[in-house]
Chain A
Amino acid sequence: MIYAYSPLRRIGLYFGALLALIWSGGPFLWQLSSSFQLDRELTTGSPKFWPAPFTIEHYVNLVVEKSFQEYIYNSIIVASLTTLFCLFVGALAAFSLSRLDVRGKFGVLGIILSISMFPQIAIVGPLYLLASDLGLLDTYASLVITYLALGLPLVTWVLFGYFETLPREIDEAARMDGCSTLGLLFRIILPISLPSLVTTGLLAFIAAWNEFMFALAFTSSIDHQTVPVGIANFTNLYYVPWGDIAAASVVVTVPLIVLVLIFQKHIIEGLTQGGVKE
């Protein structure tokens, strides 16, 4: 194909690209800029795009006044445990469906997918009662157990899709060499699926890191509340601390953006495979 566009078309393309760039990146850049500006600069009639004078007082506030590091600590624990469990349980299920003789495997996959279609608000009430009966309210366990089930359908689907692309000859060769079923999974299939495990794990991690409703319902103290709940509760008595909020936004979003940019190619593939191929 030839990519010789007319000059007019070329200008249109770059204009559109610029708009798309501003549209998706602009709001966050403003948040970044706000986080380095003094409160009085933020509330003058004419906002400045470049922070002058430059200040890190909002980041100091996060640690000194809001103990924001505690929320981050909770989020890291909950999201990491969720990711580990999701990958382990999801890999077992995907391996079984892809490599072993499961009758009606597409029925099973369909059921797993349709479970993820239930509105989450419909399960939060009964789960709350259950967690309360089991004494699990305001614990990491209540969140990890819930997020595991919420993340499993996607993880199982994506891993299943990846395992299906691996040639069957590998299985046969491993079996010939006397590999057991679990040996086949842990020694052969999982090591060669590392790229897929990393991206799937990242998706599960982001979902757990960002989840709000269950965290809001199940946790009640800073000992177990996660970052979204912490940020949602960020209000001072007499005014909204926009600068502090901006700083918190930057702190919790930048690591995600960096991770996503590193793995962007795999993420796009992982996310879109279910939606496009049938």
Chain B
Amino acid sequence: MSLQQTASAIAGPRKGAGNPFRWQFVTPWLLLLPAFLSLASVSVYPILKGLWLSFTNTSLVTQEHDFIGFGNYRLLWVDDLFWNAWWHTITFTAVSTLAETLLGLAIALLLFEHFAFRGVVRAAMLVPWAMPTVVTSKMFGWLFDGQHGLINYLLKSAGIIKDNVNWLGSVDNALWTIIFADVWKTTPFMALLLLAGLHTIPKSLIEAARMDGARSLATFWYVRLPMLLPTLLIAGLFRALDAFRVFDLVYVLTGGGPADSTETLSTLNYKTLFSTLQFGYGSAISTAMFMTEALIALGFCIFLYERLRRQK
């Protein structure tokens, strides 16, 4: 009697020669394993490691890595550079998300109508989305160049400005120019999301409203907008979370300058990590960023929940 037979004799009778039952149970998780391994090692582990690092004075310059409790966070609390970047990031997120949502809604409503060449316009909307952000940054750097930029030329020709405006090199304009570039890059995607949302609204509702004598504006305000609100809020949330992490645009267009006027949390964080090599302090900035993001998401969720509840 082999060992297996002995074992099965003890365990009692089982169906089949192999062990189909156990395989049926294990296979699904085996297939999920590569994905779990990848996400655990590249996402979960670094997040936890980052949390730990934020309580240490790890630095690649001094080669220290001692536990210092809340030391980094105490420093962060009084760090003007951090709060400066925090406010820029909040401003950037709020203004760009709002502008992209409104503009995206307008374009979605336009693309919802029937006209010739609609497909061409819709295809053109994918160009900004597909373009690498670094290319977008360089492109806007050239368009908004202070001396030879096309924007200055066009505005001067139209008589809107008299002299060249230093869009990216002046403390007053740089952040707004970056916001403009971001709006250009991400509005089309927002529009396509909202367009898909518009298509899910039953046509009968709109027709019923028209029958009752509602004009376009009224139909929009009382039928389409309320129906679209969940999509609008969810799309807005995703956009806001994404905008909050803005890095490529700022890093390539201004590097955070002039005079830190466009420094955002991601760029400040990156410089703390890779220019000054303070991995402990840099990780504290990441954690603070993370908490701010969680608060934004929570705010959106509460708002969404309240709206949906009131509608019912």
Contact = CB atoms under 8 A, between A and B. Distances in A.
Interface of A: 1, 3, 5, 10, 13-14, 16-17, 20-21, 23-25, 27-28, 30-31, 34, 42-43, 45-47, 88-90, 92-93, 95-97, 100-102, 108, 112, 115, 117-130, 145-146, 148-150, 152-153, 156, 181, 206, 209-210, 212-213, 216-217, 227-229, 231-232, 234, 240, 242, 245-246, 248-249, 252-253, 256-257, 259-261, 264, 267-268, 271-272, 275-277
Contacts of A14: 115
A276 B200 contact: yes
B247 to A, nearest CB: 5
B192 A271 contact: yes
User: Interface size for chain B: under 10, 10 to 19, 20 to 34, or 35 or more residues?
Assistant: 35 or more
Contacts of A108: 32
Given A89-B34, A261-B126, A217 B266 contact: no
Nearest to A97: B32
Contacts of A261: 123, 126
A149 B248 contact: no
A181 B24 CA distance: 9
A119 B46 contact: no
Interface of B is mostly: helix
Given A24-B124, A27-B140, A275-B193, A47 B150 contact: yes
Interface of B: 24, 27-29, 31-32, 34-35, 38-39, 41-47, 49-50, 53, 106-107, 110-111, 113-115, 117-118, 120-135, 137-143, 145, 147-148, 150, 153, 184, 188-189, 192-193, 196-197, 200, 203, 207, 231, 234-235, 238, 241, 244-245, 247-248, 251-252, 265-266, 269-270, 273-274, 279, 282-283, 286-287, 289-290, 293, 297
Contacts of A88: 34
A27 B53 CA distance: 43
Contacts of B128: 24, 27-28
A240 B189 CA distance: 31
19 contacts: A17-B118, A20-B124, A24-B124, A24-B127, A27-B140, A46-B153, A88-B34, A89-B38, A121-B286, A121-B289, A122-B290, A123-B46, A125-B53, A149-B42, A212-B247, A228-B132, A275-B234, A276-B200, A276-B231
